[in-house]
Structure 1
Amino acid sequence: MLPLYVTSGEPAGIGPDICLSLAARIDERPIVVLADMEMLKKRAEILNQNITLIEYQGQVESSLQGQLYVEHVPLNAEVVLGELNAQNSAYVLEQLRRSADYAMRAKSVGVATAPVHKAVINDAGIPFSGHTEYYQEFAGVERVVMMLATKTLRVALVTTHLALRDVPDAITAQRLHQVIDILLHDLKTKFKIAQPHILVCGLNPHAGEDGYLGREEIEVINPVLERYRAQGLRLSLSLPADTLFTPDHLKDADAVLAMYHDQGLPVLKSQGFGEAINITLGLPFIRTSVDHGTALSLAGTGLAKSSSLQVAVDLALDLARH
């Protein structure tokens, strides 16, 4: 049975801590953490956790409770808890490279990712804008879609890590078509929703208020949505984001499409921070992730919560069964 790989992320943060929590699981397939073996051993000792780390060599059965499969990725420099070190940026990227390579070559069912620190990777002279963009480039796909989810809400994004002043120019008819096509496809194929119902946020306050507060809804967004609606697909026209996220609107929705990062994600994270997950749609493999950062100050303290990683692994395994 093919494994699910889990990247341990930034070694000075809580990624290794929450990955160690996976030893408590019993799953139908192997879960393999990509990390430096000695670093994980030391972290388990610091956290006073009695965990047996097993070198993964292609085992097809799940590890026993209290055991954790690890594929060794060597560190470049010693880790000091809570202190970023650009020398270990290549170590972090090697985790991503291996996880993507295994998924693309059908040597795994996919990957779940612990957090990385974008700034320290860039400080090492390596251009890096995030997991999502890295996997997109590795897979060679033109467009991917970031979607975050809790147990009751899914929010996909038209634009992701852009400065706010650049967002309106990035929302084009072509981009909207690409994003909506991917969202519809993956909701149907990966989540088994036969006829997805999607609510779409407007870009401007009050969805432009008939052009008085901006014309993007009239000139770009709604014409695209009308084409999908004419095909019988269940997409709303652009709705004011300040009222869209209310129980009456959301009760029958399968997903919300937000125009930019901080339009939809604050609402979602206020509902389920620490238990929300990130799913990259449009990749030829499964990729889920935690919804939080590296939390450097919590590394090795025992205070880091692993709930988001646990849910990310749960979803990845569930999607693999599909």
Structure 2
Amino acid sequence: MTAGTIIEASLWQNRIDDAPVAVAATAGLIAVAGAEGECTVLDAGTGERLASGHMDGGLLSAAFAPDGSALAVCGPSGYVLWRAGGEATRSVGAGWAGSDVRLHRFDRAGWSCGAAWTADSTRVAVAAGRTIVVHGADGEQLWRTDEAPSTVTGLTWIRDGREVAASAYGGVYRYAPHSAAPTGHLAYPGSHLAIAATPDTKWICTGNQDRSVHIWRTRDASELEMAGYPDKVTRLAFDPTGRWLANNGAPDITVWDFSGKGPGGTSPRQLRGHDAVTDLAWRPGGAGILASAGAEGGVCVWKPVTGIPGRSRRPRQRFELGAPATAVAWLDADRIVAADADGGIACFTVSL
């Protein structure tokens, strides 16, 4: 077996000259972010390379505007807002070719873990060291927050894009538009590594260095804690309905049910298929389908909503890569794209 070879039959394959750490997909486009700083935009239908760029210091994440017109690329040295020219919002792939691509560089902005776009693609919030910077889609800076107690580790829009919530040491900090100081603080001691919120902002959760998931119900600031994971929790994501939360922290993925009064006093669904979970992605549309990537080289597709709490389930579908799987994303309801540590990129059909 040759390292980096895609074992399972795929719709298409490609390769980048870097080690992928993240993939993002929207509007018929894929972005692949590499550890050494290479970012490549591909056509989702064919895998054809449309554009590429490089940022010194390496990359950590990439996030497309939902309409595909812009891309935020983040890494240890700062971030870049990368915009398509031409007819990008009206024709898939148009404008993502060489000279039509325009860059707004914000390198030296401090460690930038990631970015979050509003649903209408008009604003993007980017982590910049201990601060959050909000830009318009054209790259113009709209506002910047004061410094948090430590480096921002995750952020998300809440209240339908009317606030930004960020995780950092000491909890979750909420910011209203054009507000430099936090307008709310959900406090919990320790280092928070990731953040997720339900679409209705009823629940806000963090994954933590102390190997727990901490949960706030925003209506009354009541708290829950899911502790006892063997490793720190770095990946967590709500499905589009806000009912199901998936997270890592163990070889098994745990999926918590937030219906009714929430997951307090309940057992999670347990999904067994990886040595270590490297990425999680819910299928768009709210059908309760989850994709995951694992360090052993597998990419799994699950339907955890049909499982029994407290019992382990095996994946409904599994694809094997020739190297550790590092990232996975949904292209639409029937296709996923996955990347491996040797630079391989492949698109697969999901059929449950």
TM-score for both structures, normalised by structure 2 = 0.30
Higher relative contact order structure (alpha carbons within 8 Å, sequence separation ≥ 6) = 1
Q: Between Structure 1 and Structure 2, which shows a larger proportion of strand residues?
A: 2
Structure with bigger gyration radius: 1
Please identify which structure carries the higher helix content. 1
